A and B are shown apart, each in its own frame.
Chain A
């Protein structure tokens, strides 16, 4: 036995004190020794690096910070330095998961014996090129078409537009913005001569009155709505007026709600102008120096305008619109008497047969009362897609348009673009192409033989969709999408897998003319490629490799911003380096040192505006914005005994468009949008109870939904969302469209509703 065996086991008291003392001392030193994490709260999702980017979804274009872990997107949070001040909505948060959702298209596919079967890229692209070449040879360039999207990056839309218009020689280039923002485009161009809003998001922070019309901002543009609410929270006297047929979640927070009947906007705005005239709210300086008046092709005077408006007394109009004259007067008074009024609108205004007229009347209300071009005072259209403005409207990727506000129909504009694109004069066809509804109608007729559909889902989104499915079936349809299957791939002859979001690089332009950059952070899955790579490949195979010389996102952007320098859109100063560094820049921005433009047409602020007056509407030859004399037409698809209800369509907070992305996101996919809102009065009369399966039938088709009894809708009106492919509401909607913008009227048709007999 060793001699010290009688010592107590373990530590002596002295040793214990020493160990404890040392431990405490070391613990105190950990922050200094770089072991701060021991002291700190940890992140729930570990991330290796953070990168600046932009949300994939709507036209708000929120800045996001993207966290990568092991070369995969692990986390997404709002960017504190972007306009959204770190905020994101539920869809923005879901971008974390979208790249890794189920249902991604991974390999090219070719339809053989009626089935889509995997193929190699070369095989697929050879087939596509051959079919396009054959069609062009046999039936001319107008027998092929491109149907794009407000979700393609600017470089992609620009390249497609150039390939088809300056290469192939057809103006059959259109896209889903035709279903979305076309009436806003014609509204702006007929009023100001130039497309895109004059104001910016910052105006929200200065407005004293918000006139929100045809927009469920809370659900569809939640981050914009939070900014509106912030203004109201800071300045409780700020008034919010809402014009919307439904008592939407937005309506719960407004001061005045006008539940107007769909399609009667022209009457309402004319009636509000009637009040402006009656109550002496007209800005005489504006009328004298900055405005002109027009009706159709005819020039009109202010007196003509006054006589025209006299027919729209609120008391007369109230019945047409389904609201009280008192409310119209109240809305007009609040609009005109505030220090700065900001209007916000979106699909409710655009998706109707008088979409253009409604758009320009909202602008007219601002111009006539002088609520324009000051902080907080502007008409401002909200956009549904991340790049409808920058990618499609600015690049002119629409059937009637050419880049930077030019028109196919204008020989001078064609020549300018032929020179800028370095193609022989006369290459661009003088004939405007088919707008969306006409394009799919041409497919029905067999006039269009081949169509390249990129990043959109017309098999679900077209109005009266059943009527156009036959055409899609007949046409050689090439569908490039990130998800498979969709309603459109059902009719595809070739399906090409596309990269999504930060799997590719590109620039988009959001609703406030802000161009910002999406970086490429991860590789696409399977064999998926970026849409730009696909377009470049197609161009090369069709023999236009020389025309499409810019082949990387950076090169295409450089070419495009230099093209813009030859227009009043000028954003030559938005270089790639600035895009990489800054949180986007608002055009016009002619030089690299220019900070961007918050308010257009204001000399001193807009580099394109000249003179020293209040405004310079340089888009019009006489420098005056146009106020139009628009008449209320008979609303579309009048209801009858057989179809006694008005059908209205819209969206919910959690889903986006046709759910191809949000329907797969784990955080969103369990929220089902398949219901029909019906007022309890109507439900009682039709013996429908909550949750009943019901058939909604219009003059064109019918759709089955579950009834949801709700006083969100007015009696006499029913509502369903446009999201789900399980119940295609567009089998019922009307394909009538605005005569100017050609945008279909999704917001109104007559239907009947009955319980489904089991």
Chain B
């Protein structure tokens, strides 16, 4: 291998390594999320790509053979940008799983506020405060399991985003379609508590076909439409601040 090529590769590896290695190592300890890792790889690839192109074009051009020059251009113009594109997509796909991502639309504030309210009795709040779902609490219950589920989840997210930016959504928002019970069943089905209820057994078919929703008996999962108004939010806040029993 030609010396300049080797040098370029070393430079690239160093830069990429500087970004990726600590992130990766940290990721192992769960302190850094996968989003951070994807983002680091993307940034590293971008920086490496630009650096490589500058070096190839302005520093090493005359010293490189024609074929090496072309190969390096291929790496700088296609492979590294492709890596950066992949990492951007992965970052978005992964990053939109977070509660913060959902909360970035104002429409979601009553839902997230309720979920993080330590005295809310909704299903979402109970799952949150009892740590039944450790992270990405919105995503965990709103994406159906399996590859098509992820796809449907992302499609929903895109549609929500589209309606949000074009301001074409109803307020208060309503859940569309039948909620996929598999989100609940994947954790609850088969547990002692679940099995103890006789009607769960006779309803297995109806539940897996989503013809009966778990949340009908065990919900509501979030504040109801009429509970999501500004007035309601203010009233709840003032109640919490007063700290006393709920007045009439």
Other-chain residue from A32, A206, A230, A233 in contact with B245 (beta carbon distance below 8 A): A206
Q: How far is the CA of A466 from the CA of B199 in the complex (A)?
A: 32
Q: Is the beta-carbon distance between B121 and A230 smaller than 8 angstroms?
A: yes
Interface check A288, CB cutoff 8 A: no
- B248 lies within 8 A of A41 (CB): no
Name the one of B119, B126, B168, B217 contacting A87, with C-beta atoms under 8 angstroms: B217
Q: What residues on B are CB-neighbors of A85 within 8 Å?
A: 220, 224
What are the residues of chain B within 8 A of A323 when measuring CB–CB?
Answer: none
Q: Which of B120, B159, B217, B245 has the most CB of A within 10 A?
A: B217
Residue of A31, A77, A340, A653 near B199 (CB, 8 A) is A653
B120 adjacent to A93 (CB under 8 Å): no
B198 contacts A671, CB within 8 Å? yes
Q: How far is the CA of A702 from the CA of B246 in the complex (A)?
A: 52
Whole-angstrom distance from the CB of B97 to the nearest CB of chain A? 18
In the complex, B109 has a CB within 8 A of chain A: no
- B245 and A41 within 8 A (CB): no
Tell whether A638 is near chain B: CB-to-CB under 8 Å: no
The residue of chain A having its C-beta at the shortest distance from the C-beta of B160 within the complex is A39
Contact of B120 among A89, A226, A234 (CB under 8 A): A234
> B180 contacts which chain A residues (CB < 8 A)?
41
Q: Which of B121, B176, B246 has the most CB of A within 10 A?
A: B121
Q: Do B226 and A670 touch (CB < 8 A)? A: no
The answer, yes or no, to whether B234 is at the interface (CB within 8 Å) is: no
- Residues of chain B from 95 to 109 with CB closer than 8 A to chain A in the complex: none
Rounded to whole Å, the gap between the CB of B151 and the closest CB of chain A is 12
CA distance A93 to B203 in the complex (A): 11
Interface string of B178-219 (1 = CB under 8 A from A): 101000000000000000011100110010011111001101
How distant is A413 from chain B, measured CB to nearest CB, in Å? 35
| Cβ 8 A contact of A41, one of B126, B178, B198 | B178
A78, B216: Cβ atoms closer than 8 Å: yes
Per a CB cutoff under 8 Å, which of B156, B177, B216 touches A88?
B216
A373→B70 CA distance, assembly (Å)? 88
In the assembled complex, which residues on chain A have CB atoms less than 8 Å from the CB atom of B224?
Answer: 80-81, 85-86
Does A667 interact with chain B (Cβ within 8 Å)? yes
Of A16-24, A42-50, A313-321, the segment with at least 4 beta carbons within 8 Å of chain B is A42-50
Partner of B176, one of A40, A235, A340: A40
Q: How far is the CA of A668 from the CA of B198 in the complex (A)?
A: 10
Q: Any chain B CB within 8 A of the CB of A386?
A: no
Instruction: Name B62-81 residues within 8 Å CB distance of A.
Output: none
Q: In the complex, which residues of chain A have a beta carbon less than 8 angstroms from the beta carbon of B197?
A: 653
B contact residues around A230 at 8 Å (CB): 121
Report A-chain residues with C-beta under 8 Å of the C-beta of B178: 41-45
Contacts of A32 in B (CB 8 A): 166, 168
Residue of B nearest to A376 (CB): B245
Inter-subunit contact B212/A93 (CB<8 Å): yes
A573 interfacial contact with B, CB 8 Å = no
Q: Known: A31-B163, A39-B155, A43-B178. Is A208-B245 also a contact (CB below 8 A)?
A: yes
Least CB distance, B116 to chain A, in whole angstroms: 14
Give the docked Cα–Cα distance between A32 and B166 (Å).
10
Chain B neighbourhood of A39, CB < 8 A: 155-156, 159
Inter-chain CA distance A313–B226, complex, in Å, is 50
CB <8 Å contact, B199 and A90 = yes
**Within the complex, what minimum Cβ distance (angstroms) separates A604 from chain B?**
11
Task: Please give me the residue from chain B that is nearest to A92 by CB atom.
Answer: B216
| CB–CB A339/B245 < 8 A | yes
| Residues in chain A near residue B162, CB distance under 8 A | 31
Complex CA–CA separation, A339 to B217 (angstroms): 30
> How far is it, in angstroms, between the C-alpha of A226 and the C-alpha of B121 when the chains are bound?
10
A533 at interface by CB-CB < 8 Å? no
From known contacts A45-B211, A375-B247, infer whether A667 and B203 are also in contact, taking CB-CB under 8 Å.
Answer: yes
Which residues of A sit under 8 angstroms from B206, Cβ to Cβ? Answer: 667
Q: A42, B119: Cβ atoms under 8 Å? A: no
Please, what's the 1-or-0 string for A315-359, where 1 marks a CB less than 8 Å from any CB in chain B? Answer: 000000000000000000000000110000000000000000000
Q: How far is the CB of A580 from chain B (nearest CB, A)?
A: 19
Interchain CB contact under 8 A, A80 and B216: no
- The answer, yes or no, to whether A222 is at the interface (CB within 8 Å) is yes
B152 within 8 A of A: yes
Which residue among A89, A90, A222, A671 has the maximum number of chain B CB atoms within 10 Å of its CB? A90
Report the bound CA distance from A457 to B217 in whole Å: 29
The one of B119, B166, B202, B226 in contact with A668, judged by C-beta atoms closer than 8 angstroms, is: B202
Does A174 sit within 8 A of B, measured CB to CB?
no
In A79-130, the 8 Å CB interface with B consists of 80-81, 85-90, 93
A205 interfacial contact with B, CB 8 Å = yes
- Cβ of A654 within 8 Å of any chain B Cβ, yes or no, is yes
Given A40-B177, A86-B224, A235-B119; A671-B199 close (CB under 8 Å): yes
Q: Which residues of B contact A222 (CB under 8 A)?
A: 217
Asked if A234 contacts B199 (CB within 8 A), the reply is no
Please name all residues of chain A whose beta carbon is closer than 8 Å to the beta carbon of B163 when the two chains form the complex: 31
**Candidates A41, A80, A340; contact of B152 at CB < 8 Å:** A41
Docked-complex contact B199 and A667, CB < 8 angstroms: yes
- B206 to chain A: closest residue by CB: A667
- Whether a CB of chain A sits under 8 angstroms from the CB of B225 is yes
Give the nearest-CB partner of A90 in chain B: B199
A492 to chain B, nearest CB (A): 32
Structural contact, B155 and A667, CB atoms closer than 8 A: no
Residues on B with C-beta less than 8 A from A667 are: 199, 202-203, 206, 212
Residues of B within 8 A of A375 (CB): 246-248
Distance of A24 Cα from B224 Cα, bound (Å)? 36
Q: Are B245 and A654 in contact (CB under 8 A)?
A: no
A80 touches B226 (CB 8 A): yes
Inside 8 A of A206's CB, which chain B residues have their CB? 245-246, 248
Q: Which B residues are CB-close (under 8 A) to A77?
A: 213, 216
Assembled-state Cα–Cα distance A453/B69 (Å): 99
Q: Whole-angstrom distance between the alpha carbons of A322 and B20 in the complex?
A: 70
Q: In chain A, residues 669-715, which have Cβ atoms closer than 8 Å to a Cβ of chain B?
A: 670-671
- When distances are taken between beta carbons in the complex, the residues of chain A under 8 Å from B203 are 90, 667
**Are the CB atoms of A87 and B220 closer together than 8 Å?**
yes
Indicate the member of A41, A90, A229, A653 with the most B CB atoms within 10 Å.
A41
Residues of A within 8 A of B126 (CB): 233
Bound together, the chains give a CA A222 to CA B206 distance in angstroms of 20
Render A61-83 as a binary contact track against B, CB cut-off 8 A, 1 for contact.
00000000000000001101100
Residue from the set B197, B199, B224, B245 with the largest chain A CB neighbour count within 10 Å: B199
User: Which residue of chain B has its CB nearest to the CB of A89?
Assistant: B217
A247 to chain B, nearest CB (A): 14
CA distance A602 to B76 in the complex (A): 82
State the Cβ distance, B143 to closest chain A Cβ, in Å.
Answer: 11
Question: With a CB–CB cut-off of 8 A, which chain B residues contact A88?
Answer: 216-217
Expressed in whole angstroms, the Cα–Cα distance for A653 and B200 within the complex equals 12
**Chain B residues within an 8 Å CB radius of A670:** 202
For A43, give its contact among B156, B177, B220, B245 (CB under 8 Å).
Answer: B177
B159 close to A40 (CB less than 8 A): yes
A208 contacts which chain B residues (CB < 8 A)? 245
Residues of A within 8 A of B121 (CB): 229-231, 233-234
Chain A neighbourhood of B209, CB < 8 A: 44
Which residues of A from 437 to 462 have beta carbons under 8 Å from B?
none
B168: chain A residues within 8 A (beta carbon): 31-32
Residue of B whose beta carbon sits closest to that of A235: B119
A-B contact pairs, 24 of them (CB 8 A): A31-B163, A31-B168, A39-B155, A39-B156, A40-B176, A41-B156, A41-B180, A43-B178, A44-B178, A80-B220, A80-B226, A85-B224, A86-B224, A87-B217, A93-B216, A93-B217, A233-B119, A234-B120, A375-B246, A375-B247, A654-B198, A667-B203, A667-B206, A671-B199
Given contacts A43-B178, A667-B212, 10 further A-B contacts (CB under 8 A): A40-B176, A42-B177, A87-B216, A88-B216, A90-B199, A229-B121, A233-B126, A235-B119, A235-B245, A668-B202
Which A residues fall within an 8 A CB radius of B?
31-32, 36, 39-45, 77-78, 80-81, 85-90, 93, 205-206, 208, 222, 226, 229-231, 233-235, 339-340, 375-376, 652-654, 667-668, 670-671
- The 5 A-B residue pairs with the shortest CB-CB distance, nearest first, are A41-B177, A230-B121, A233-B121, A44-B178, A44-B210
